[in-house]
Amino acid sequence: MRKHILAVVGLTFGCIASAMAQGYPSRPITINVAFPAGGPSDTVARILSEPMRASLGQPVVIENVTGAGGTIGVGRVAHAAPDGYVVSLGGWNTHVVDGAIYTLSFDVLRDFEPVLLIASNPYLVVARKAMPANDLRGLISWLKANPEKATAGMCIGCPQHVFAAFFQDVTGTRFQLIPYRGAAPAVQDLVAGQIDIMLDSPVSSLQHVNAGAIKAYAVTAKNRLASAPEIPTVDEVGLPGFYASQWFALWAPRSTPRPVIDKLNAAVMHALADPNVQQRMADLGLQIFPREQQTPEALAAFHRAEIEKWWPIIKAANIKGG
C-alpha cells in the first residue's frame, strides 16, 4: 500500500511539473545578478537577455541584488519559488568562493539546479613595465631570487587574491599582497610602477598591455585569448596546468522541474550560438564553453570540481569574507 501511495504521489508531482513546463514561461523571467550594474556578471547577463527573450517569448529582466560579497542576491534565488521565473547568474565568486569564506543560509551545491556553463574569464599574469623579467620563467626566477620583496595588487577575497595565493603555492615564490578597494586602482598603481605584479582580468588590464604600459606574461588557461592571441598560455611558457579563471553560469532554485530547466538551457544555448553574442564575449576576454559542456550535468560536475580545487587553497591562505 505504501509503495502504491508513493507511486501515486510521484505521478501527481510529475504531472504538475509537466503542466507547469508546458505553460512556461507565461510571464517575465528575472535573472538575479548579485553585483552592481556594469560589472562582469551584469554585463554577461545583459548580453544574454535579449536573445533569451526572443527564444522564450517573454521579457528577461536583470535584477541587481548586491551586498555581502554576492551572498544576498544568491540567497534570494536559493529561497525563491522553484518555478523558473527567478534564476541566478553567478559563477566562481558567488557559487565557489563565497561558500568557503562566508557562513551562508544556503548550500551553494544542494540548493540550486544547474542550468548551464556560460563562459570563462581567464586571467593574465601582468607586471610593471620596468620589471626585469621578460617572460614567465624569468619572472618566477626573479621572484624566487627576491623573496618577499615584490608586491602584488589585489582586493580581499577577490580573484586576484585567491589566484595570487595559488600562484605562490604552485611556483614556490613569496611576495607581499597589497590590498585595494578594487581591481581598477590596483591596475593604476601597476601602470605607475607602484606595485610589481598582478593576476588580473583582461577586461581591466589588456588595454594597458596593448598600450605598452605594463607587461603580460601569460594567460591562465589552456587556450589563448581571441582578443590577444599574441599572449601565450601558461602551458606554453613553463607553468603547465596553472588554470585560474572566473567563470559564469546559470542556476535555478532547487526542485525546479527538469522541463523548465531544459527550456532555460535551450534559450541560453541559442544565445551563445549567436555570432553577435560570441563577438561581444570575445571582446571582453571571455571564452564560451564548448557546446558539449553546455548541459546541466556538465555544470554540476564542473561546479563540484571547482569547489574541490579552490576551497583548500582559500582556506590554507586564511582568506576571509569582508
Neighbours of 57 (CB within 10 A): 9
Same-domain status, 194 and 254: no
CATH code (residue 130): 3.40.190.10
Q: Is 318 helix (H, G, I), strand (E, B) or coil?
A: coil
pLDDT of residue 181: 86
Same-domain status, 133 and 31: no
Closest Cα to residue 293, out of 310, 275, 272? 272
Q: Tell me what the mean pLDDT of segment 240-244 comes to.
A: 97
Cα distance between residue 197 and residue 186, in whole Å: 10
pLDDT of residue 204: 87
In a domain, 229, yes or no: no
In a domain, 100, yes or no: yes
Q: Is 264 helix (H, G, I), strand (E, B) or coil?
A: helix
Which residues form the domain of 198? 124-219
Model confidence at 2, pLDDT cuts 50, 70, 90, reads low
In a domain, 241, yes or no: no
In a domain, 105, yes or no: yes
Domain count, the chain: 2
Same-domain status, 166 and 203: yes
Same-domain status, 11 and 103: yes
Domain endpoint, select from 181, 198, 219 = 219
Model confidence at 10, pLDDT cuts 50, 70, 90, reads very low
Same-domain status, 147 and 181: yes
Tens digits of residue pLDDT in 247-296:
999 999 999 999 999 999 999 999 999 999 999 999 888 999 999 999 99
Domain endpoint, select from 199, 219, 239 = 219
Same-domain status, 33 and 93: yes
Same-domain status, 199 and 182: yes
Same-domain status, 102 and 186: no
Same-domain status, 297 and 262: yes
In a domain, 96, yes or no: yes
Tens digits of residue pLDDT in 158-206:
899 999 999 999 999 999 999 998 888 999 999 999 999 999 999 889 9
CATH code (residue 29): 3.40.190.150
Beta bridge partners of 122: 245
Phi, psi torsion values for 2, nearest 5 degrees: -60, -45
Same-domain status, 13 and 100: yes
Tens digits of residue pLDDT in 14-66:
545 555 567 999 999 999 999 999 888 999 999 999 999 999 999 999 999 99
Cα distance between residue 231 and residue 254, in whole Å: 41
Same-domain status, 93 and 180: no
In a domain, 283, yes or no: yes
For 4, 5, 92, 285, the CA distances from 1, given in Å and listed in that order, are 5, 6, 47, 59
Same-domain status, 112 and 6: yes
In a domain, 102, yes or no: yes
CB 250 within 8 A of CB 244: no
Total-model pTM: 0.89
Cell, residue 301: 560536475
Tens digits of residue pLDDT in 81-136:
999 999 999 999 999 999 999 999 999 999 999 999 999 999 999 999 999 999 99
In a domain, 240, yes or no: no
Question: In this predicted model, which residue has the larger pLDDT, 8 or 29?
Answer: 29
Domain endpoint, select from 198, 219, 240 = 219
CB 33 within 8 A of CB 62: yes
